[in-house]
Structure 1
Amino acid sequence: MKVAIVVDSTAYLSEEIKKQNNIYSISLNTIFGEDTYREGKDITTEEFYEKMRGFSKLPNTSQPSIGDYILLLEELNKDGYTDVISLHLSAEISGTCQNALAAAKSVEGINVHVVDSEIACTPLGLLALYAAQNKDIKPIDELLEELNTLKQKNHMNSYFIVNDLTNLQKGGRLSNAQAFLGGILRIKPILKFENGKIIATEKIRTMKKAQDKVIQLVKSDYDADGHHGKDMIMTVIHGNDEASADAWIAQLKEDPVFSKTTFIKSYFGPVIGTHLGEEAIGITFADFDVDLTGF
């Protein structure tokens, strides 16, 4: 048995990390008018945010086509892979998982195991790293079972803050947007994934107060799930605002609750950035062990 790991571009893993861990990637797309850009290939994150600022409407996004998946699976089959663990952003906000399943039916000689992460960004990337670093150590059935356990909230979770809900509401990615429409331009909403859907949980008036509330929520999760004293991974993710991410990491490092936490930094790329908007910021954390070389 020879197992390949595939993850979609919303994991935002660097080329270095993917190469080190032999992870294959497939791109989602951002669409400005009639121009389509493959995430991670045709447009940089900086170029995307600059282009979005000058674009009068919200860009569209789309999942990889079934044809793109078939080409990747055929390539992996030719390279001698018998199995593929294909990890993707939540099926509740994208058709990526569905297209992976459809493509799997079209390519003979290779077994495709699709994992719906029920989340996106760094948590998805960490699951892919765990799979890549354990695929030659553990039986595939055991590894798949572990991945479906590790994606649960008691092992990893995330909270993120957007400047306003305009992009999420326009894009239809927010499940309970109506509850917030009255203050859509005046609040800093705190969002989370719940059963794979994006849910707005808090209405906060300033970014500083929203960040303080997120820290409270994370500490509550640490209490509830027994993370105190454990080696944890925490990622601060930013929407083209690296300075704010650095400042938040510096603040978190001073908190004794996070004394055994390893901090890394990532970003919201074009597809996720389309829906969260510029200057969004978030925290994710995970309790499982992966080699973070390259972050």
Structure 2
Amino acid sequence: MKTAIVTDSTAYLPKHIRDELNIYMIPLNVVFGTESYQEEAEISANDFYVKVREQEELPKTSQPAIGKFLELYEELSKEYDAVISIHLSSGISGTYQTATTAGQMVDGIDVYTYDSEISCEVQGFYVREGAKLAGEGKAPEEIIARFDEMKKTMDAYFVVDDLHHLQRGGRLNSAQAFIGSLLQVKPVLYFRDKIIIPFEKIRTRKKALKRIVEIFDEQASKGVPMEAVIIHANREEEANEWKQELEEIYPHVTIRTSYFGAVIGTHLGEGALGLGWYTK
């Protein structure tokens, strides 16, 4: 059976990786006033953060139209027997549900949608693994079962500079945002039950990042093979320094860096920094 791997732009997999692993991508949109851009296709992360600083109002985001999924799935049906479509958490976007609906409308190909319950390059862990297994000829059911196994140890924590982005986008309630700003705390946030919630309130960014490493260490100190990713919102130098520090402490962990692109960056704001991982 020949299986195609599809994801959305919020996995933030570079184009050369998508091309190399034969991964298909559907972009979400970021909207500045009346101008809409497909992230990763029409606006890069770097250009996005520059544009945000130039605008008075924060941008908005929107999920792909169902027609985008239908068009891609129908095109893939000419070459593939099945599609596994992996998307950002259904708790923060309707993209997964739209993909599921589109999959039910297409003939000639079996569409399996998967809710990553997370986003960014942590979502990308599933996409990379799915592409590898699909390339080996594994059945869709085997690949989905592997995803479910990965999900048991997958986690991600992050710190943001400004809670108002999350509050304005409805990803954090106004009381949580107000209290955080009032106390100048740097809360550690994480995904639970498909949504973003505060994990702990910490007074400084340095201490917040240290706390994230402590959580990571609960798994990483066991010495088992792991993959991890440091994700930044226009803080590449800080991300690379953090990567170097972690690699020295945890040589058995494969660590890469990635970024919060336009859509997720809209909600987290410039300066956000996170760490995600799973046990292989």
TM-score by length of 1: 0.90
**1:142 shift after superposition:** 1.8
Superposed CA offset, 1:112-144 (max 9, x none): 100000000111111011111012342221221
Name the CA shift for 1:81/1:26 in 2 (closer, same or farther; >3 Å).
same
The answer to whether the 8 Å contact 2:158/2:188 transfers is yes
1 CA distance for matches of 2:226 and 2:166? 30
1:213 maps to amino acid:
R
| Equivalence for 2:241 | 247
| Equivalence for 2:154 | 156
Superposed CA offset, 1:9-48 (max 9, x none): 0011011111111110000000001100001111111110
Pairwise mapping of residues 80-99 of structure 1 onto structure 2 (< 5 A)? 80-99=79-98
Superposed CA offset, 1:42-61 (max 9, x none): 11111100111122222111
Aligned match of 1:230 in 224, 231, 238?
224
SS in structure 1 at match of 2:254? strand
The answer to whether the 8 Å contact 1:163/1:189 transfers is no
**1:229 shift after superposition:** 1.5
| Equivalence for 1:282 | 274
Q: Give percent identity, aligned residues only.
A: 44
SS in structure 2 at match of 1:143? helix
Q: More deviation in 108-117 or 202-211?
A: 202-211
| Equivalence for 2:47 | 47
1 CA distance for matches of 2:242 and 2:26? 31
| Equivalence for 2:143 | 143
Q: More deviation in 264-273 or 47-56?
A: 47-56
**1:180 shift after superposition:** 4.7
RMSD: 1.4
1:142 maps to amino acid:
E
Superposed CA offset, 1:84-114 (max 9, x none): 0000000000000111011112221111100
- Where in structure 2 are there 5+ consecutive unaligned residues? none
Moved segments of 4+, more than 6 Å: none
2 CA distance for matches of 1:107 and 1:233? 35
Name the CA shift for 1:137/1:76 in 2 (closer, same or farther; >3 Å).
closer
Aligned match of 1:183 in 172, 180, 183?
180
**1:241 shift after superposition:** 0.9
1 CA distance for matches of 2:234 and 2:150? 29
SS in structure 1 at match of 2:242? helix
SS in structure 2 at match of 1:204? coil
Aligned match of 1:263 in 255, 266, 273?
255
1:15 maps to amino acid:
K
The answer to whether the 8 Å contact 2:165/2:266 transfers is yes
| Equivalence for 1:69 | 69
| Equivalence for 1:113 | 112
1 CA distance for matches of 2:44 and 2:251? 34
TM-score by length of 2: 0.95
- Where in structure 1 are there 5+ consecutive unaligned residues? 289-295
2:180 maps to amino acid:
G
The answer to whether the 8 Å contact 1:163/1:187 transfers is no
**1:179 shift after superposition:** 3.7
State the aligned residue count: 278
2 CA distance for matches of 1:8 and 1:48? 18
Q: More deviation in 38-47 or 84-93?
A: 38-47
Superposed CA offset, 1:220-239 (max 9, x none): 3446xxxx121211111110
1 CA distance for matches of 2:176 and 2:234? 28
SS in structure 1 at match of 2:107? coil
Superposed CA offset, 1:187-245 (max 9, x none): 2111000011101111112111111111111113446xxxx121211111110111110
Q: More deviation in 84-93 or 123-132?
A: 123-132
